[in-house]
Structure formats: C-alpha cells, structure tokens
Amino acid sequence: MNPVLAGQGAYPLLRLDERRQELRERGVALFDFGTGDPREPTDPAIRQALADGIMEVSQYPSSAGKRSLREAFRGWIERRHSVALDPETEVLPATGSKEAIFHAPLAFLHHSHARRGVVYGTPGYPVYERGTLFAGGEALPVELKRESGFLLRPEDVDPERTRILWINHPHNPTGATATYEYLEEIAEFCREHDILLFSDECYNDIYSGEPPPSILEVTKERTLAFVSLSKRSGMTGYRSAMMAGDPDLISALKKLRPSIGVATQSFVQDAATAAWSDDGHAGERRRIFGEKRALFVDFFRRIGLDFLPTDASFYLWVAVPEAFAGDDEAYAMRLMQEGIIVAPGRSFGPGGEGFIRIALVPGLEECGQAIERWKTVVR
C-alpha cells in the first residue's frame, strides 16, 4: 500500500456517514446537516440540457472540454467578477472541484524539491493536505483563528519552504469571507516570494449580502481559481468545475490531466454550459439558503448560542455550549439523539475543536422542525 494512504485516517465525513447509517437502521427520523449536499432540485433547464446532450454514439470527451463550456464560464466570470479570460488558454474544466484540488499539486510539486511545501488553513477542507502528500509535497497547515476572522495571515507562512498557498473563501467549514483588500495582501505576499496562489472559490456564488470577490479580480499571475457548479447550481452529482487563471499554470495542467482522465461526459458539459449561462437559478438558490440561514441565526440568538456571523456559503460555524465543556463530538452526539446530524469541528482539523458545522442542506420546513428538536437539547 502507498505509505501516504496507509498513514491517512478515515476521511472525516465517512465517520459521519457510518453514524448516520446506524440511525437510519434504527428507524430514527433524521435532519441531516452534516454533509454539504443540498437537496433543492436542480434547475429544469439544466436537467433538460443534460437529457438533450445524450448522444446516440458515446465517445471520449477531450481533457480540455468543449469550447462552448469554456465560453459559458468566461461569460459568467465576466458578469460576476468583471474578469476577462481567454477560454483557450486560461480556462480548463474538471470533474468536480474535489478532484481538481486533489490533483493540482501533481503538476507543480516533486518530492526531490527543497521547496515543496503547501500551506493551507485548518480547520479546512481535508483534500488540500491529501493532495499535497500524494504529490510528494510537504503539508504546512496553518491554524486559523476566530480573532483573525479565520483568515490565513501571511506572517504565519514560511516563504522559504512554501511552493503553493491555498486560500478558501467563503470558507468551509466556518463560512468566513475575505475582503478585496485581504486578497490584495495575500496576492502581493505570494508575488514577492514567488509562491503559487490557489484559491478555492466553490462557495463564492452563495451569499445574501455583498458578493464575495474572486482572487482573479486582483491577479491572474501565478494564480489559479477553482470554481464549482455543485453548490451554485445544485449539481453535486454532475461533477463539474473549472480551473482558471495564469495561462502558464493552465498549460501545465493541460499536460497533466490526460494522464488522470478526461473532462466530464459530453452531456454533463452541456448541462454545465446551461448552468454557467444562466444567473437566475443561482439567485433563487441564494434566496433559499438565505432564508434557512436567517431561521437558524434567529434561533441561535434567542437561545444565546454563540456562532460566527456570515452571510455567505451555506455553512454555520457554531460554538459548543459551556455545558458540554467545548467537546464538539459530545455535543454532536447529543444532537444526534434528537435526529439532528451535524459535523464536529475537529473533523476539519486542528482549530475546529469546540465548534460544530451546520450545512444548510434540509429544506426550510425541515429546518424549522429540526429547530424544534434542538430546543429539547437546550431545555
């Protein structure tokens, strides 16, 4: 077995799946806020584009994907972020952001390099670390602090060891956002020290207030943004994402990706083209997530439960009550007794202890029912 694989524990949310299954087998009615897989229906126009795209003869898609898909993405990022991209040299599709994030370091790291460190924030998405290790890199986690707004600060990065720096905003798991000024600061730091800057922006089209900025609004130089349709367009099962930015970095990924596989199926690309071409359905999804967020925010404020205020992503980062002495697993287990499934903060790495993550996945009515159950725990 690959020693990296042997050294890895179970993927954090797999443990959550096992506990969820136990409850199902016992017949417990569940309100699942654990895994970030929203249940709102995918827009009918996207589903129709998928159906219309099914060919009589199936053939391999190219790793670069269809020009129409890359053009649709270019149109979206210009509307949303006022960023101009060349669809031939600065855009590349992927089969979901998870595989793109995991595989990207393979193009830019080598185990023999003296400078092979990858910096990422923790608590955070586990794939940053796993992709680093399998690529022969050195994982350099930086613990994010609430007092710093869960922002990765340049002063916590060792530039002598760092080849790649990951940022993620709106942030998973906390929902924290970054300002344009912060992105300028981190981009300047990476430019000064010749560090590749990778920005995971999978949630930046889910917001209720000011639209979160993209790193590509600041720079494309030695920079890549990773953008997904999973949450924006309710296409988690379709597996469709985009990598965009520096043409030299995109060129390197183009050389890598045929060894990994190809772009998503042609009919999925047609569905993704329809999704990137339309903003109306994304706006409706934002409205729904905003309503669910407001419901929980009101509840937490009424019962005095501490949480991180945010109007972006569909996560809420909630502090464990004093009665549970900061034990996020114990609090998650207590909520589970009421059929409420949440993710313990420690499953997202150091710094997550003492918090739970709520993914606003169930419908609005189910959220209300879960809150009624949660009141039992409060009492």
User: What domains are defined for the chain?
Assistant: 3-42+281-378 (3.90.1150.10), 56-278 (3.40.640.10)
- List the alpha helices (DSSP H) in 125-277: 127-134, 180-193, 247-260, 266-277
In the beta sheet, which residues pair with residue 162?
117
**What is the pLDDT at residue 7?**
78
Q: How far apart are CA 138 and CA 228, in angstroms?
A: 26
Q: List C-alpha distances in Å: 172 to 53, 177, 272, 336.
A: 33, 10, 23, 22
68-72, 107-111, 193-197, 249-253: range with lowest mean pLDDT? 107-111
pLDDT mean over 222-235: 97
Mean pLDDT score of the chain: 94
Q: How far apart are CA 17 and CA 34, in angstroms?
A: 9
- What is the band of 147 on the pLDDT scale with cuts at 50, 70, 90? very high
Could you tell me the strand order of the sheet in which 315-319 lies?
315-319, 355-359, 343-344
Q: How far apart are CA 98 and CA 56, in angstroms?
A: 30
**What is the pLDDT at residue 377?**
86
Q: How far apart are CA 322 and CA 310, in angstroms?
A: 22
Cis before residue 173, ω within 30 degrees of 0? yes
User: Is it the case that residue 194 has pLDDT exceeding 90?
Assistant: yes
Q: How far apart are CA 41 and CA 62, in angstroms?
A: 29
Percent of the chain with pLDDT over 90: 84
Q: Which residues of 329-339 are buried (b: 16+ CB within 10 A; e: fewer)?
A: bebbebbbebe
Which pLDDT tens digit goes with each residue over 248-294?
999 999 999 999 877 889 999 999 999 999 999 999 999 999 999 99
10-14, 48-52, 82-86, 95-99: range with lowest mean pLDDT? 10-14
CA atoms 92, 94, 110, 351: torsion sign = positive
Specify the pTM: 0.94
**What is the pLDDT at residue 11?**
61
Q: How far apart are CA 322 and CA 78, in angstroms?
A: 47
pLDDT mean over 65-71: 96
CA atoms 175, 176, 179, 185: torsion sign = negative
Residue 11: how many other CB atoms lie within 10 Å? 13
**What is the pLDDT at residue 185?**
98
Phi/psi at 139 (5° precision): -75, 125
**What is the pLDDT at residue 315?**
97
- Considering only residues 108 and 4, tell me which one the structure prediction assigns the higher pLDDT: 108
**What is the pLDDT at residue 76?**
98
Phi/psi at 196 (5° precision): -75, 130
> DSSP assignment, residue 362?
S
**What is the pLDDT at residue 8?**
74
- What is the band of 219 on the pLDDT scale with cuts at 50, 70, 90? very high
Cis before residue 170, ω within 30 degrees of 0? yes
**What is the pLDDT at residue 33?**
95
pLDDT mean over 371-377: 93
User: Is it the case that residue 19 has pLDDT exceeding 80?
Assistant: no
Place of tokens 């890359």: 70
- List the alpha helices (DSSP H) in 194-265: 247-260
**What is the pLDDT at residue 10?**
65
- Stretch (H or E) spanning 342: none
Q: How far apart are CA 243 and CA 97, in angstroms?
A: 8
Q: Using an 8 Å Cβ cutoff, are 266 and 56 in contact?
A: no
